[in-house]
Amino acid sequence: MSEATRRRVKEAARELGYVPQQSGRSLSTRRSRRIGIVVGELSNPFYPALLDPMVRELEAQGYLPVLIHDDGLEEPTTEPIFDGSFDAVLLTTTLLGSSLPGEIERRGIPYVMVNREFVVDRRARSTAVPDNATGASLVADLLVDLGHRAVAMVTGPAETSTGTERLDGFRDALARRGIALHPEAVERVPFSMADGAAATARLLDRRPVKAIFCANDVLAIGALETLARRGLAVPGDVSVVGFDDIPMASLSAIDLSTVAVDLDRLGRRAVRHLADRARDPEVVPTRVVEPVELRLRGTHGPARDY
């Protein structure tokens, strides 16, 4: 049509308050332009830090992100995932024993697991994860080089890849340096500040602890709270190192030494791979591993009183 006619049509649409009906478009294109994002408890500051870049990248690619809440107690509501509401799905709360990734795969729905992954065989699956083993190894070497021997770890549940891989990487790296991580020096808890605080209290009550590696920053902030309540100086009495480098870790009141993951790049890479798979089912599933690095701040220091 002519430009003049186009302008008249657009003006009429504005006056009438017309909005194109997405359901009608979906019937003709067989695409909803919606992406489901399975997320955990949003009061946990890790999730907003991960979600923000994914949401912005999805919007830049013309998709509408829709959150699906997973409270960690049972499988998230799956009906919208399977009823054609979404073109694809991002999974951020995957458990090692979860049946959801397999069911999504069986139904031919494109998906990418972000931050956590689910591996039961040698088949390639679409994932975007931090280099957990390397990050944990960097922490082990840091603490050993500082002279620490009475080390402990607060990690996540055994059914999470993040909790398991970071524990295994830390334990293996310590062993290479001739230090055994005693079973009583390990606490497995949910990824929350309250659980991090409680786990740290139990560790301190059981055995001498001079350095604590926490499998994420949320647990580490909980550990700092317990140490402050016990009157223990950080890092003078106990060193604490986290993982992720969420925004609040750099606040001067926290100043947490941690393993930095570029969550912005991780989230965007996950979305771009998902968009490729949504457009072309023949795109090969890819495991994206995000590099990590130590971000040294004020909660680590040399060992004392050994």
Structure confidence by residue, pLDDT tens digits, 241-266: 999 999 999 999 999 999 999 999 99
- Strands (E) across 40-150 are located at 64-69, 88-91, 111-114, 127-130
Residue 8, C-beta contacts closer than 8 angstroms, at least 6 positions apart: none
**Which long-range contacts link 101-107 to residues 24+ away (Cβ below 8 Å)?**
101/125, 103/78, 107/82
Structure confidence by residue, pLDDT tens digits, 115-166: 999 865 556 689 999 999 999 999 999 999 999 999 999 999 999 999 999 9
* Helix and strand counts by DSSP (H, E) for the chain: 10, 12
Q: Within its chain, how far is the Cα of 20 from the centroid?
A: 36
pLDDT over 70 percentage in the chain: 90
pLDDT over 90 percentage in the chain: 71
Q: What is residue 19's predicted lDDT score, i.e. its pLDDT?
A: 64
Q: What is residue 266's predicted lDDT score, i.e. its pLDDT?
A: 97
Q: What is residue 199's predicted lDDT score, i.e. its pLDDT?
A: 98
Question: Is the pLDDT assigned to residue 207 strictly greater than 70?
Answer: yes
As a whole number, the mean pLDDT across the chain is 90
**Gap between the Cα atoms of 135 and 140, Å rounded:** 9
Q: What is residue 29's predicted lDDT score, i.e. its pLDDT?
A: 43
Band (pLDDT 50/70/90 cuts) for residue 76 is low
Q: What is residue 75's predicted lDDT score, i.e. its pLDDT?
A: 56
Q: What is residue 139's predicted lDDT score, i.e. its pLDDT?
A: 98
Question: Is the pLDDT assigned to residue 21 strictly greater than 70?
Answer: no
- Phi and psi angles of residue 294, each rounded to the nearest 5 degrees, phi first: -70, 135
Q: What is residue 291's predicted lDDT score, i.e. its pLDDT?
A: 97
Band (pLDDT 50/70/90 cuts) for residue 108 is confident
CA distance from start to end of the chain:
83
Question: Is the pLDDT assigned to residue 25 strictly greater than 70?
Answer: no
Domains of the chain are: 31-129+262-291 (3.40.50.2300), 132-261 (3.40.50.2300)
- Phi and psi angles of residue 163, each rounded to the nearest 5 degrees, phi first: -65, -40
**Gap between the Cα atoms of 92 and 190, Å rounded:** 15
Q: What is residue 239's predicted lDDT score, i.e. its pLDDT?
A: 98
Question: Is the pLDDT assigned to residue 227 strictly greater than 80?
Answer: yes
